[in-house]
């Protein structure tokens, strides 16, 4: 995976996916016409090329391979890592000065007593947080004293991993101390993993998993091929990505899509106005009060739009069940992004292979039968 990340990267893999999407169109797309410099107003729908194709957009989360984070477990892990870091910095002083007292045995015993409780109450959780915060604060103060000591191991000789863990543990202590003092459960850029500090909690609101921990993806589907338009480790509202996804579709294909199929969160007034301006039909009911009577044609159109939009849900399930999107095993942010892009590349390659396979089957089996049937029909007419 690291070799793929170093050789191609996320950008290179995305270019391969875009090339497959462009090749799926029956004719070469026209180059998008750019307005002249003296023209201030953007071109209207009448001036632009005729719209074609459909765009399906949705967002999902690619969970990272981390333990379910709790405040007490994170503080205990940070305490253990800082305790090991104290041993590393204290190594040159062994035999000359005593090791700083950290109460590691007592801290471990208190943590084990807490985790063995099946359903600890709010007061028990707060007490365990206070205990681990105290031990972690003591360790960080001991590290600061060792760094100021002239005979201790200098900071420049630490391993890169140890230095990174030290910075993460300091930030984790600051966040947890802030939440403990303010009695809240929210903080900006909250750390949920010490080994993967780039991972953030993603609030999904799903029935099976209310919160996921990983990268959030904005995905668009064109001609059955999936493309990642945005990959972000912070949570965001995917409804603001629709205009950018439509413009990206125009850059790739040369025109705007004929229809856009999205769920409720994308159907904002801004997105509806943009689609109306460029002659794009957006799926879903219009804004306002629901009419008392809905025509049969509108019902059929709504059912057809929902059936088309369900393709993206199937792609998410396929990626998470068969192509590794259900758990990203990489540790670095860049490697994780490359793995996610490779998963979508594998899905697109499988679809391209299926299209090629069925085309060959049709040419080898069905087309000769059609020719025989046509010859028999012509002979009968004569």
34 versus 61: which is more confidently predicted?
A: 61
Give the rounded percent of residues in the chain with a pLDDT score beyond 90. Answer: 59
What pLDDT was estimated at residue 26? 63
Percentage of the residues of the chain whose pLDDT score is greater than 70: 86
Q: How far is CA 340 from the centre of its chain?
A: 8
All residues at 6 or more sequence positions from 10 whose CB lies less than 8 Å from its CB, including other chains: 231, 334, 337, 338, 340, 341
CA atoms of 129 and 140, how far apart (whole Å)? 16
pLDDT at 1: 59
When pLDDT is averaged across residues 3-31 and rounded to a whole number, the result is 71
Please provide the average confidence, as pLDDT, over all residues in the chain: 86
Looking at residue 178, its pLDDT comes to: 95
From 13-22, 23-32, 119-128, 289-298, the region with the lowest mean pLDDT: 23-32
Q: Please state the domain extents for the chain.
A: 2-31+42-66+200-285+300-362, 71-182
Question: Which candidate, 235, 287, 276, 12, places its Cα nearest to that of 260?
Answer: 276
Whether the per-residue pLDDT at 37 is higher than 90: the answer is no
User: Are 107 and 132 a contacting pair, CB within 8 Å?
Assistant: yes
Residue by residue, DSSP assigns 182-245 as HT-S--TT----SS-TT-EEEE---SS-SEEEEEEEEEEEETTEEEEEEEESS---GGGGHHHH
User: pLDDT band at 45, cuts 50/70/90?
Assistant: very low
Residue 268 has, within 13 A of its CA and on its CB side, a CA count of 12
Q: Say if residue 5's pLDDT is above 80.
A: no
pLDDT at 205: 72
Dig out the tokens for 48 from the structure: 């632009």
The per-residue b/e assignment along 258-269, b for 16 or more CB within 10 angstroms, e otherwise, is ebbbbbeebbbe
The whole-number pLDDT of residue 367 equals 59
pLDDT at position 267, please? 92
Answer yes or no: is pLDDT of 307 > 80: yes
**pLDDT of res. 47:** 44
Flag whether pLDDT at 34 surpasses 50: no
- Rg (alpha carbons) of the chain, rounded to whole number: 29
- Lowest-confidence segment of 44-48, 205-209, 266-270 by average pLDDT: 44-48
Q: DSSP label at 355?
A: H
pTM of the prediction? 0.82
pLDDT above 60 for 38: no
CATH superfamily of 2-31+42-66+200-285+300-362: Ribonuclease H-like superfamily/Ribonuclease H (3.30.420.10)
Q: State residue 243's pLDDT score.
A: 94
Q: Which of 204-208, 290-294, 315-319 has the lowest mean pLDDT?
A: 204-208
* pLDDT confidence of residue 382: 56
- Predicted confidence at residue 252, as pLDDT, reads 86
pLDDT recorded at residue 44: 46
For the chain, count helices (H), then strands (E).
11, 6
Mean pLDDT of 354-371: 70
Residue 11 is predicted with a pLDDT of 81
Give the mean pLDDT of 311-315. 91
Q: pLDDT tens digits, residue range 88-134?
A: 999 999 888 899 999 999 999 999 999 999 899 999 999 999 999 99
């Amino acid at each position: 995976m690291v070799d793929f990340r170093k050789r191609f990267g996320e950008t290179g893999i995305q270019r391969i996916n875009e090339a497959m999407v462009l090749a799926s169109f029956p004719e070469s797309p026209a180059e998008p016409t750019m307005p002249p410099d003296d023209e201030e107003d953007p071109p209207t729908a009448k001036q632009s090329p005729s719209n074609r194709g459909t765009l399906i957009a949705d967002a999902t989360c690619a969970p990272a391979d981390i333990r379910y984070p709790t405040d007490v477990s994170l503080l205990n892990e940070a305490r253990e890592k800082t305790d090991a870091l104290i041993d590393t910095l204290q190594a040159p002083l062994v035999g000359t000065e005593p090791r700083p007292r950290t109460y590691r045995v007592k801290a471990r015993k208190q943590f084990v007593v807490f985790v063995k409780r099946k359903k600890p109450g709010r007061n028990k959780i707060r007490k365990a947080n206070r205990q681990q915060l105290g031990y972690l604060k003591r360790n960080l103060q001991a590290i600061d004293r060792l760094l100021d000591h002239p005979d201790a191991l200098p900071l420049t000789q630490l391993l890169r991993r140890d230095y990174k863990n030290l910075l993460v543990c300091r930030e984790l202590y600051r966040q947890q101390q802030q939440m403990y003092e303010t009695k809240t459960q929210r903080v900006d850029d909250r750390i949920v993993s010490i080994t993967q500090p780039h991972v953030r909690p993603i609030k999904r609101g799903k029935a099976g998993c209310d919160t996921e921990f990983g990268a959030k993806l904005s995905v668009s589907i064109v001609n059955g091929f999936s493309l990642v338009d945005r990959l972000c480790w912070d949570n965001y509202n995917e409804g603001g990505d629709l205009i950018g996804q439509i413009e990206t579709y125009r850059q790739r294909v040369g025109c705007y899509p004929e229809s856009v199929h999205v769920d409720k969160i994308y159907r904002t007034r801004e997105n509806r106005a943009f689609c109306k301006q460029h002659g794009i039909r957006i799926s879903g009911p219009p804004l306002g009060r629901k009419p008392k009577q809905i025509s049969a044609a509108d019902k059929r159109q709504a059912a057809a739009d929902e059936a088309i939009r369900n393709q993206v849900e199937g792609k998410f399930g396929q990626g998470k069940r068969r192509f590794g999107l259900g758990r990203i095993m990489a540790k670095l942010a860049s490697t994780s992004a490359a793995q996610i892009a490779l998963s979508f590349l594998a899905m697109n390659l499988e679809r391209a292979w299926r299209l090629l396979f069925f085309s060959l089957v049709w040419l080898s089996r069905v087309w000769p039968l059609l020719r025989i049937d046509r010859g028999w029909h012509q002979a009968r007419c004569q």
